[in-house]
Amino acid sequence: MIQTINLTKRYGDLMALANLNLEIEEGDCFGFIGPNGAGKTTTIKILATLLKPTWGEARIAGLSVGPVNARQVRSLIGYVPDYFGSYDDMVVQEYLEFFAAAYDIHGDKRKQVVHDVLDLTDLSYKIDAEVNSLSRGMQQRLSVARVLLHDPKVLLLDEPASGLDPRARIEMRELLKELHRMGKTILISSHILLELADLCNKVGIIEQGQLRFVGTTDELLERTRGERVLHVAVADRMQAALELLKAMPGVSSAELQNSHIRLALEADQTGPAAIAQQLVQQGYALTRLEEEKANLETAFMRLTKGLVQ
């Protein structure tokens, strides 16, 4: 559904994108992750027909993105930029009706569509509120409502969660999950991997205009797995359990942390099952066994070099 072929963008001497090859299938939710200045916005703007590549090609639903197909491509996409404009003296309903008119949606259909997108984004109760009075989270949801008016197949979202508080982030994530369930193909950018890990079925990591990785989050973990970290607790005799675990082959370190043991395991040497089996065999009552999720962040750090242009 979205394809880039050797997509390259130079700004003077600066190579913002270098031969980017992406393949995003219909119905995918693709997390585009990279630090500031990595080239995410540049890619998204090219896909949204707002920027010309220096060379290479982008395609949406098989259509080459460029001046010839711009109208057709725009009818297929909904683009949410990483900023929200200023709309003085405009209420939510006027804002959406204005954009619906721009998409040639008129009459009763327009009223219905505006009603539907407000319902989907949980903003119906704000229909008469001034756009500028909405919180940042509501404004971001309104931006999503705006790009849903013409029912596009593809959504391009540039850091929709940036600047949102935790509650607004969760609301945004739930909205995007719903849109994914509805079958939209979604490309969403962020500089935080964990934010997208449970939302997206595929992630791409970009740094300095180059793609460092594409695949599922499981593949990402697999590719970069060096050390696994487990948090383990037993009902009693914690100190003895600690000594037992320390002596196990494949355990690189074990230490007591508050009410549990933090265990670092060497890759491919041992795993949670062997740890649980050993403890149970020795008569311990296991009360906690959890693998540290932050491993995804570790994977991210290993794949990228921390370079920012």
Ligand X SMILES: Nc1ncnc2c1ncn2[C@@H]1O[C@H](COP(=O)(O)OP(=O)(O)OP(=O)(O)O)[C@@H](O)[C@H]1O
| Tokens encoding 97 | 């009706």
Candidates 10-18, 55-63, 92-100, 247-255 — which segment interacts with ligand X by CB under 6 A?
Answer: 10-18
Min. distance of Cβ 303 from ligand X in angstroms?
15
41 near ligand X, rule: CB under 6 A: yes
**8 or 41: whose CB is closer to ligand X?**
41
What angle do helix axes 238-246 and 272-281 make, rounded to 10 degrees?
A: 130
Candidate residues 3, 8, 42, 49; the one interacting with ligand X per rule CB under 6 A: 42
36 near ligand X, rule: CB under 6 A: yes
Strands 29-33, 202-207: parallel, antiparallel or unpaired by DSSP? parallel
What part of residues 178-237 is at the interface with ligand X (CB under 6 A)? 191
13 near ligand X, rule: CB under 6 A: no
Candidates 40-48, 114-122, 238-246, 260-268 — which segment interacts with ligand X by CB under 6 A?
Answer: 40-48
Q: Report angle CA 203, 224, 200 to the nearest 5 degrees.
A: 15
Min. distance of Cβ 161 from ligand X in angstroms?
12
C-alpha distances (whole Å) from 229 to each of 162, 210, 293, 303 are: 29, 30, 9, 18
CA 64, CA 188: separation in Å to the nearest integer?
21
Min. distance of Cβ 156 from ligand X in angstroms?
12
What one-character-per-residue DSSP string does 72-86 give?
HHHHHEEEE-SS---
**205 or 241: whose CB is closer to ligand X?**
205
Min. distance of Cβ 213 from ligand X in angstroms?
15
Candidates 33-41, 98-106, 173-181, 231-239 — which segment interacts with ligand X by CB under 6 A?
Answer: 33-41
Min. distance of Cβ 177 from ligand X in angstroms?
23
**118 or 197: whose CB is closer to ligand X?**
197
Q: For the CA atoms of 215, 218, 219, 221, what is the dihedral angle to 10 degrees?
A: 120
**2 or 233: whose CB is closer to ligand X?**
2
C-alpha distances (whole Å) from 17 to each of 23, 88, 148, 284 are: 16, 36, 29, 55
Min. distance of Cβ 35 from ligand X in angstroms?
7
**9 or 173: whose CB is closer to ligand X?**
9
Output b/e per residue, 223-257; b: 16+ Cβ within 10 A. Answer: ebeeebbbbbbbeeeeeebbebbeebeebeebeee
53 near ligand X, rule: CB under 6 A: no
How many chain residues are in contact with ligand X, going by CB under 6 A? 13
Min. distance of Cβ 271 from ligand X in angstroms?
36
4 near ligand X, rule: CB under 6 A: no
Candidate residues 1, 2, 7, 16; the one interacting with ligand X per rule CB under 6 A: 16
Neighbours of 7 (CB within 10 A): 26
| Tokens encoding 197 | 């890990």
34 near ligand X, rule: CB under 6 A: yes
39 near ligand X, rule: CB under 6 A: yes
Binding site for ligand X (CB under 6 A): 11, 14, 16, 34, 36-42, 191, 309
